[in-house]
């Protein structure tokens, strides 16, 4: 299986290992496989009899053909084990006849990024080994909260790698901030950026595109790579849980084999929902993909008008991992549907003017599968409360945004298909907001909000969040966009 940049075929083709090593293409594009492999109903049938780890190894093998099958099996077996995912890798919880939740937050950082970031460092490490790479990979991460911590956990003390994380200083929750500030490991750096997530992401992208920085790093035996969802190594493990959830729904009798389901995904950078689209393209029986946004509803507008316009106010919400105005992985969808040239034109317009517009025909192709809705803050709080009251099921604000979108979708369409809502974070990661949504008052201390939430609801705090206030803070430094490159060089070349 070979890979190409979304923007031009000039440097094609490259292998999966090379794509994962580089993270982003030299022309600024993202890597995509040159064909999408097929998944038949018969194969799905077989996967239904297997463990999550075996399902993962099989599906990864379809895309990562240059990795030995044995290695994939071993790595997936170790990563998706009950030691790392005590609640199961990706359990499906059925709350009524129609509504199902896919819980992706049983990993070490209590958010769905673990699903990919526990395996991705191993994929990168395998690629370095098998391509005879001697340099150190420096992983640069811009995070709106969850990616940073999950990447730090995945990469800490992984040989031949260093990891540096930038997060927006006021754009993450107190728990998220503390999770990152207390990160252990000898190859890690964490910095607060005075700016929002898009500033952090643009800063990282600019460093990737800066030849002078690359050369200076190379002189020190370092090259840049990425753990953001622009890296193909992040996306392919995310396909797995859609297939796995489908299998589990067949197994528990929620659906018949081959029956279509709708999937609703709380969306920021468009990585998670794009993985669902890939699963559908491969052959998984998915009807509609519901793209759920918070008040940063650039995607809702895009999916209804065909105009992507990031020139708008940025809102800080209680679902910070979706406070994003540039959804990077949308580029991959454009490429898959409309090819290199059209994608490059749209991305140029986005960079120069902050917007681009699709034609009517292009939009209608996208609308065959995707529909977008957004949920504002008030409705997010209401849905957290109602879901608890109605089902005794506690959800975090990101998941609530998705339930809000699904609610509007069902009203509009009256569909009969079963619905899978992707639950992307433990409610305890956002305990203050969840508590306030349920009981109408915000706990004074955000760090003990979890204990209060647990007492009131009789639900359990996930182990990785239970002792957070007791850990040692290691990272308190702040910087601004103008000094990011300097900080990267200092960390990369220092000892």
Ligand X SMILES: *Cc1c(COP(=O)(O)O)cnc(C)c1O
Residues serving a catalytic function are 113
> What is the C-alpha separation between 170 and 447, in angstroms, rounded?
16
Of 136, 272, 293, 432, the residue at the interface with ligand X (CB under 6 A) is: 272
Q: What x-and-dash track marks residues 83-112 binding ligand X by CB under 6 A?
A: ----------------------------xx
Using rule CB under 6 A, residue 149 touches ligand X = no
Can you tell me the distance from the alpha carbon of 431 to that of 443, in angstroms, rounded to the nearest whole number?
9
Q: Which is nearer to ligand X, 125 or 328 (CB)?
A: 328
Find the part of the chain contacting ligand X (CB under 6 A) among 7-15, 165-173, 192-200, 264-272.
264-272
Q: Does residue 231 interact with ligand X by CB under 6 A? A: no
Strand pairing partners for 325?
none
Size of the site for ligand X (CB under 6 A): 18
Using CB under 6 A as the binding rule, whether residue 121 contacts ligand X is answered as: no
| Residue (225 or 272) nearer to ligand X, CB | 272
The only residue of 22, 113, 177, 340 in contact with ligand X, by rule CB under 6 A: 113
Segment contacting ligand X by CB under 6 A, of 6-14, 28-36, 211-219, 266-274: 266-274
The least distance separating ligand X from the CB of residue 291, rounded to whole angstroms, comes to 9
393: left (phi over 0), alpha (psi -120 to 50) or beta: beta
Strand partners, 480: 194
Cα 336 to Cα 4: distance, rounded to the nearest angstrom: 11
* Chain center to CA of 407: 23
- Asked if 147 and 117 count as a contact pair (C-beta separation under 8 A), the reply is yes
300 binds ligand X (CB under 6 A): no
Question: Out of 118, 321, 379, 432, which residue is the one contacting ligand X (CB under 6 A)?
Answer: 321
Quote helix, strand, coil % in the chain, to nearest 5: 50, 15, 35
Q: How far is the CB of 347 from ligand X (least distance, A)?
A: 18
Give whole-number Cα distances, 108 to 52, 111, 149, 397, 433, in Å: 17, 8, 9, 19, 21
The interface mask with ligand X, positions 409-428, x = CB under 6 A, is ---------------xx---
Shortest Cβ distance from residue 54 to ligand X (Å)? 25
CA distance 396 to 111: 10
Stretch that binds ligand X, among 271-279, 336-344, 441-449, 465-473 (CB under 6 A): 271-279
Nearer to ligand X, 226 or 321 (CB): 321
Q: Give yes or no for a cis peptide into 13 (omega within 30° of 0).
A: yes
CA dihedral 312→317→319→320, nearest 10 degrees, is 70
Chain residues in the site for ligand X (CB under 6 A): 111-113, 146, 229, 266-273, 321-322, 398, 424-425
């Amino acid at each position: 299986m070979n890979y190409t940049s979304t923007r031009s075929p000039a440097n094609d083709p490259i292998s999966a290992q090379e794509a994962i090593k580089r993270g982003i293409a030299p022309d600024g594009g993202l890597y995509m496989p040159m064909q999408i492999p097929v998944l038949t109903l018969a194969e799905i049938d077989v996967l239904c009899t297997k463990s999550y780890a075996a399902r993962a190894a099989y599906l990864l093998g379809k895309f990562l053909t240059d990795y030995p099958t044995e290695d994939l099996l071993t790595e997936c077996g170790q990563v998706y084990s009950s030691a790392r995912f005590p609640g199961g890798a990706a359990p499906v919880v059925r709350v009524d006849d129609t509504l199902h939740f896919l819980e992706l937050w049983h990993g070490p950082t209590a958010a769905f990024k673990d699903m990919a970031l526990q395996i991705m460092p191993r994929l990168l490490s395998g690629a370095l080994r098998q391509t005879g790479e001697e340099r150190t990979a420096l992983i640069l991460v811009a995070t709106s909260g969850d990616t940073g911590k999950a990447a730090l956990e995945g990469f800490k003390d992984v040989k031949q790698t260093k990891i540096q994380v930038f997060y927006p200083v006021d754009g993450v929750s107190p728990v998220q901030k503390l999770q990152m500030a207390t990160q252990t490991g000898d190859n890690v750096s964490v910095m607060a950026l005075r700016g929002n997530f898009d500033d952090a992401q643009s800063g990282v992208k600019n460093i990737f595109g800066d030849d002078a920085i690359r050369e200076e790093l190379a002189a020190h035996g370092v090259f840049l790579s990425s753990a953001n969802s622009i890296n193909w190594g992040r996306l392919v493990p995310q396909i797995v849980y859609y297939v796995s959830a489908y299998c589990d729904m067949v197994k528990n009798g929620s659906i018949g084999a081959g029956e279509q389901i709708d999937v609703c995904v709380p969306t920021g950078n468009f990585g998670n929902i794009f993985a669902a689209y890939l699963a559908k393209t491969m052959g998984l029986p998915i009807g509609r993909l519901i793209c759920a946004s918070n008040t940063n509803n650039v995607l809702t507008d895009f999916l209804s008008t065909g105009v992507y316009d990031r020139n708008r106010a940025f809102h800080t919400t209680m679902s910070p991992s979706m406070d994003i105005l540039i959804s990077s992985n949308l580029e991959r969808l454009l490429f898959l549907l409309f090819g290199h040239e059209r994608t490059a034109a749209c991305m140029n317009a986005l960079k120069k003017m902050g917007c681009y517009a699709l034609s009517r025909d292009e939009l209608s192709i996208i609308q065959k599968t995707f529909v977008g809705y957004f949920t504002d803050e008030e409705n997010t709080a209401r849905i957290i409360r109602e879901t608890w009251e109605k089902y005794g099921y506690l959800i975090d604000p990101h998941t609530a945004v998705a339930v809000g979108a699904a609610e509007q979708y069902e009203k509009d369409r009256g569909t009969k298909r079963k619905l899978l809502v992707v639950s992307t974070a433990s409610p305890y990661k956002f305990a203050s907001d969840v508590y306030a949504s349920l009981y109408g008052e915000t706990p004074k201390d955000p760090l003990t909000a979890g204990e209060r939430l647990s007492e009131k609801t009789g639900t359990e705090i996930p182990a990785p969040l239970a002792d957070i206030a007791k850990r040692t803070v290691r990272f308190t430094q702040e910087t601004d966009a103008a000094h990011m490159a300097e900080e990267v060089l200092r960390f990369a070349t220092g000892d």
